[in-house]
């Protein structure tokens, strides 16, 4: 432990907390660098005060819309959008989970041969690098507007998310158990089923529930780019300046997110 002491010129010696970066020159250079960056970055941000003043009225209108949300006028659209989002969530999670398992097996260094390993890791990297909405744009162009494109988008993102985490879990398994099963003369599928799967399954089920949660959150926004779900409804309501309906939509999204998060947390705590 380094202890910085004041020069003992007058009075008792006092202890001071050692700075995180010991070299003073490096420390101040870093501070200066951060200041310069902040200056450069902030100078490209333009603030239009006149526009904000106009916008504040809209903000106020939106807040008052929140205080009296209107579920009735657009109830058909809201319930329709919500059902689309929910079904997209179920389909995409189921398809994504099923496809992520072979991808994860391929992306685990201790299970897969090198060429398959590289291919699967590449797929995972691409799926993780692009935000769901970006993927949705491409899939909408491919499959046409609607919830099918949305479900495929989320399934693709799920493959990247679960594939990476499951592959890491598979790489961390206990080798001894695999050896033991192999010694009994098990074939490759039996090896996966009896030696690998029991070791990774509990955490994987937890991750699937977590991903179900994320998929609903994303299913509620990708409608903005035409991939179906309640996001489209919200976008329309805001474009028509129907703030009371928009508030109702937002509140229903929040309620479902809540239910999803707490029930998945409950299941994980109670059963896993």
Partner 1 sequence: MPVIEAGDHRVWRRRDRAEQLRNWLIWLVGTALFIVCWRFISERTIWIFVLDAPQQAWDMAVRMSNPPMGYFNRILQPMWDTVNMATIGTLIAIAIATPVAFLAASNTTPSVYFVRPVALAIIVTSRSINALIWALLLVLVVGPGLLAGIIAIALRSIGFIGKLLYEAIEEIDETQVEAIRATGAQPTQVLSYGIWPQVLPAFAGISVYRWDINIREATILGLVGAGGIGVQLQASVNSLAWGQVSVIFMAILVTVVFSEWVSAKVRHAVL
Q: Whose CA is closest to 91, among 261, 216, 258? A: 216
Q: Which stretch binds partner 1 (CB under 8 A): 69-77, 108-116, 125-133, 174-182?
A: 125-133
CA–CA distance, 75 with 233 (Å, rounded to integer): 11
Among 99, 116, 191, 257, binds partner 1 (CB under 8 A): 257
Paired tokens of 117:
């390993």
Number of other residues whose CB lies within 10 A of the CB of residue 119: 14
Interface residue with partner 1, options 101, 116, 119, 133 (CB under 8 A): 133
Residues of span 141-200 touching partner 1 by CB under 8 A: 141-144, 146-148, 151, 194
Which one among 186, 217, 242, 268 touches partner 1, defined by CB under 8 A?
217
Please, which of residues 45-74 interact with partner 1 by CB under 8 A? 45-48, 51-52, 55-56, 58-59, 62
120 versus 234: smaller Cβ distance to partner 1: 234
* Measured CA distances, 140 to 137, 187, 214, 231, 247 (Å): 5, 42, 20, 14, 27
| CB closer to partner 1, 92 vs 112 | 92
Q: Minimum Å distance from CB 112 to partner 1?
A: 22
Binding residues for partner 1 (CB under 8 A): 17, 38, 41-42, 44-48, 51-52, 55-56, 58-59, 62, 83-84, 86-88, 90-91, 94, 125-126, 129-131, 133-134, 137-138, 141-144, 146-148, 151, 194, 217-218, 220-221, 224-225, 228, 231, 234-235, 238, 250, 253-254, 257-258, 261
């Amino acid at each position: 432990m380094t202890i910085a002491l004041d020069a003992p010129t007058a009075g008792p010696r006092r202890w001071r907390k050692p700075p995180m970066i010991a070299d003073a020159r490096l420390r101040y250079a870093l501070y200066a660098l951060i200041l310069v960056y902040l200056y450069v970055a902030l100078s490209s941000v333009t603030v239009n005060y006149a526009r904000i003043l106009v916008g504040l009225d809209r903000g106020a209108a939106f807040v008052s819309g929140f205080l009296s949300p209107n579920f009735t006028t657009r109830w058909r659209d809201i319930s329709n959008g919500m059902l689309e989002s929910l079904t997209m969530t179920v389909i995409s999670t189921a398809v994504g989970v099923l496809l992520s398992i072979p991808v994860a097996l391929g992306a685990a260094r201790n299970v897969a041969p090198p060429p398959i390993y590289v291919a699967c890791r590449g797929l995972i990297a691409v799926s993780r690098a692009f935000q769901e909405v970006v993927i949705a744009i491409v899939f909408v162009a491919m499959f046409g507007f609607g919830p099918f494109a949305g479900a495929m988008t989320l399934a693709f993102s799920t493959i990247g998310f679960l594939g990476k985490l499951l592959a890491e879990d598979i790489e961390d398994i206990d080798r001894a158990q695999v050896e033991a099963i192999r010694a009994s003369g098990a074939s490759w599928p039996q090896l996966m089923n009896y030696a690998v799967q029991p070791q990774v399954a509990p955490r994987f089920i937890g991750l699937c529930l977590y991903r179900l949660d994320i998929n609903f959150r994303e299913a509620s926004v990708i409608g903005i780019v035409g991939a179906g779900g309640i996001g489209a409804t919200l976008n329309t309501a805001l474009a028509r300046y129907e703030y009371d309906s928009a508030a109702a939509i937002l509140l229903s999204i929040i309620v479902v997110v809540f239910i999803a998060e707490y029930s998945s947390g409950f299941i994980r705590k109670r059963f896993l």
